[in-house]
Structure 1
Amino acid sequence: MQVSVLIPTHNRVDLLTRTLSSLRDVDVPSNVRVEIVVTANACTDGTEARVAKIDERFPFEIIVVEEPEPGQNHARNKCLQKASGEILAFVDDDVRFDEGWLAGLVDVFREYDADVVGGRVKLWWKAVDKPEWFESYLSPILAGYDHGEEIKEVGLPGPVGANVAFHRRVYETLGKFYTAIQGDDNPLYRGNEVKYLQRAAGAGFSSYYAPDALVYHWVSPDRIKPDFFRQAGRGYGYSRVQMKDTFGPYTACRSIVGFLYLSALHGLGWIAAKAVTDTAREYQQLYTSNIGLGGLYGSWMRLKDEGLG
């Protein structure tokens, strides 16, 4: 079995270098070959040259390619284009691999004949101390994905893009990632992988959670501030609208009413949590209310650009 580790990156060469360094120490099961595909997405920080130097002394083959079109899914598509593995494993450029990551991933594909595997993602509090107010229910907003110690079948689009793998047959059936949600109106591109996972569900592919396929996702200092939760919510709400295949009268009305309700209800929740200084709840309500605002903005943009069609 060959596993292609696919890493899209944009101007974060120091973080990428640290991620690759941790991959060096991963245990490789018998009869498994590993290649790494790094896509430098509109990079201007010397990513390609730095990775080329790493490749000279790395235990696995590293393929580094350029994708000039900005956007994470453009970079993901270039990764897929260059990969030759039977297993296509996407990870973010700011994770630290547990030594058992590869074995945990391969075991689930082998034992369950899985189509999609979502690896465990724990938050990595290295750049900033974990705040006293932080609660576990905020972890998914920061790309955490932790469902305990047992392997289990999960619904799609459950896994997160920081640590998700596909059997090649999924790619051969679905083709490329959807790129239309990426633009200046959606700076955080929340939900880039959701459309792909929804399509996988529609095609009848199975999905499993792999607790031993563990990575630690770096938490940057800005991600524990209100602006991050605000922007992340708006980006995800906008994305949810842009991912809809059609936007006719029924879909438009349902979206507008639903997002209006979401923004109003959780906006009030945000005010209430702020009043009693419940910071975790305040940020959670801020995030959810902004999903509503982002969805309303996305609905307006679709109506403006397409009308009811």
Structure 2
Amino acid sequence: MEVSILIPTHNRVDLLTRTLSSLRNVNAPSGVHVEVIVTANACTDGTQARVAKKNEHFPFELSVAEEPVPGQNHARNKCLQQANGDILAFVDDDVCFDEDWLSGLVRVFRRHNADVVGGRVKLWWEAIDEPEWFESYLSTILAGYDRGEEVKEVGLPGPVGANVAFHRRVYEALGEFHTAIQDDDNPLYRGNEVEYLRRAADAGFSGYYAPDALVYHWVSPDRIKPEFFRQAGRGYGYSRVRMKDSFGPYTACRSVAGFFYLAILHSLGRITAKAIGDTAREYHRLYTSNVGIGGLHGSWIRLKDEVLG
């Protein structure tokens, strides 16, 4: 079996270097060949040279590809084009690997003949202390993914892009990631992998959760501020509209009504949470109300472009 570890990155060479350093300590199961492919996505910070330097004493085959078109899914597609593995494992450029990550991942693919496997993602509070007000239900907004200690089948989309792997047969059936989601209206690129996972579900592929395929996802200080929750919500709402294959009058009406409901209901909920000093609930309502606002924005763009002409 061959595993391709795929890492898209954009101008975060210091974080990437730490991720690669932690990857050195990962144990490879017997009979598994590992290649690591970093895609430098419109990088101007010396990423290519730093990766080349890492390659001198790296325990796995390490290469760097270049993708000049900005956008995470463009970088993911370049990774896929370069990969040779039976297992295509995407991770973010700001994670720290548990030493048994690869063993945990491979074990679920082998034992369950899985198509898609989402590894556990715990938040890595290294740059900033976890706030006292933080609640576990906010973790998913920060790309956390923890379904407990047992391997289990999960619905798709379920896993998060920080730690998700596909069998090559999924890629051969679905092709590449959708890139229309990414534009100036979606600055945080929320929902990029969700569209792919939904396509996998529609095609009948199975999803599993692998608790031992553990990474720690770095939390940057800006991610516990209101502006992040606001932008993340808007980006995800916008992406949900962009994911739809068609956007006729019926779909448009349902989308507008649903997103309007989200925006109003959770805006009121945020006011209440703020009044009683429940910061976690306030931020969650801020995120969800902005899913509605982002969805309304995306609906207007698609209506203008596809329905109204």
- TM-score under structure 2 length normalisation: 0.99
Q: Deviations over 1:233-254 (max 9, x none)?
A: 0000000000000000110000
Indicate the residue corresponding to 1:170 in structure 2.
170
Paired position in structure 2 for 1:29:
29
Are 2:124 and 1:117 aligned? no
Give the CA RMSD over aligned residues. Answer: 0.7
Distance in 2, matches of 1:56 and 1:205, equals 38
Counting only pairs closer than 5 Å after superposition, residues 252-267 of structure 1 correspond to structure 2 as 252-267=252-267
Deviations 1:137-157 (A, max 9, x none): 000000000000000000000
Q: SS at the partner of 2:65? A: strand
Partner residue, 1:42:
42
Between the two proteins, the alignment pairs up a number of residues equal to: 309
Residues of 1 paired with 2:2 and 2:248: CA distance?
Answer: 44
**1:247/1:308 contact within 8 Å kept:** no
Match of 2:154 in 1: 154
Runs of 4+ off more than 2 Å: none
Aligned to 2:73: 73
Gap regions ≥5 residues in structure 1: none
Q: Write the distance in 2 (CA, Å) between the matches of 1:263 and 1:253.
A: 15
SS at match of 2:176: coil
- Secondary structure of 2:192's aligned partner: coil
> Could you tell me whether the CA contact under 8 Å between 1:3 and 1:33 is conserved in 2?
yes
Tell me by how many angstroms 1:189 deviates.
1.1
Match for 1:184: what amino acid? D
For residues 27 and 186 of structure 1, the distance between their equivalents in structure 2, rounded to whole angstroms, comes to 37
Q: Give 5+ residue unaligned stretches, structure 2.
A: none
Q: What TM-score do the two structures reach when normalised by structure 1? A: 0.99
Which whole-Å deviations, capped at 9, do the CAs of 1:32-78 have from their partners, x for residues lacking one?
11100000000000000000000011011111010000000000000
Name the CA distance, whole Å, in 1 between partners of 2:254 and 2:235: 19
Q: Paired residue for 2:221? A: 221
Alignment-derived partner of residue 191 in structure 1: 191
1:239 maps to amino acid: S
Does residue 290 in structure 1 map to residue 290 in structure 2? Answer: yes
Q: In structure 2, how many angstroms separate the alpha carbons of the residues matched to 1:47 and 1:21?
A: 14
Q: CA deviation at 1:308?
A: 5.8
Q: Encode CA deviations 1:124-175: one digit per residue, 9 max, x unaligned.
A: 0000000000000000000000000000000000000000000000001100
- Identical-residue share of aligned pairs (%): 80
